[in-house]
């Protein structure tokens, strides 16, 4: 886990929208998605529940947001 991944995670968690978070970070959405998948893999947890055009924080995601 690095600060870039945490910054990306916080941007998504605050907006609950990958595209808006990517725009705020001036990066492409696929890059942002890859960073979050990498973070989830390194932590061994799912941080977001992804649905049809909606995402929400999991319990693990909520804990990480407080700590981040």
CA distances, 61 to each of 16, 26 (Å): 12, 23
Split at pLDDT 50, 70, 90, the class of 53 is confident
CB atoms within 10 A of CB 1: 12
- Residue 7 half-sphere exposure toward CB, CA atoms < 13 A: 8
Predicted confidence (pLDDT) per residue in 29-46, tens digit: 999 999 999 999 999 999
DSSP 4: H
Indicate the pTM of the whole model. Answer: 0.90
Instruction: Give the tens place of pLDDT for each residue, 2-39.
Output: 899 999 999 999 999 999 999 999 999 999 999 999 99
């Amino acid at each position: 886990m690095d600060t870039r991944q945490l910054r990306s995670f916080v941007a998504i968690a605050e907006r609950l929208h990958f595209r808006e978070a990517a725009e705020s970070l001036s990066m492409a959405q696929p890059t942002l998605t890859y960073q979050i998948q990498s973070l989830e893999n390194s932590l061994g947890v799912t941080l977001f529940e992804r649905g049809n055009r909606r995402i929400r924080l999991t319990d693990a995601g909520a804990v990480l947001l407080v700590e981040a």
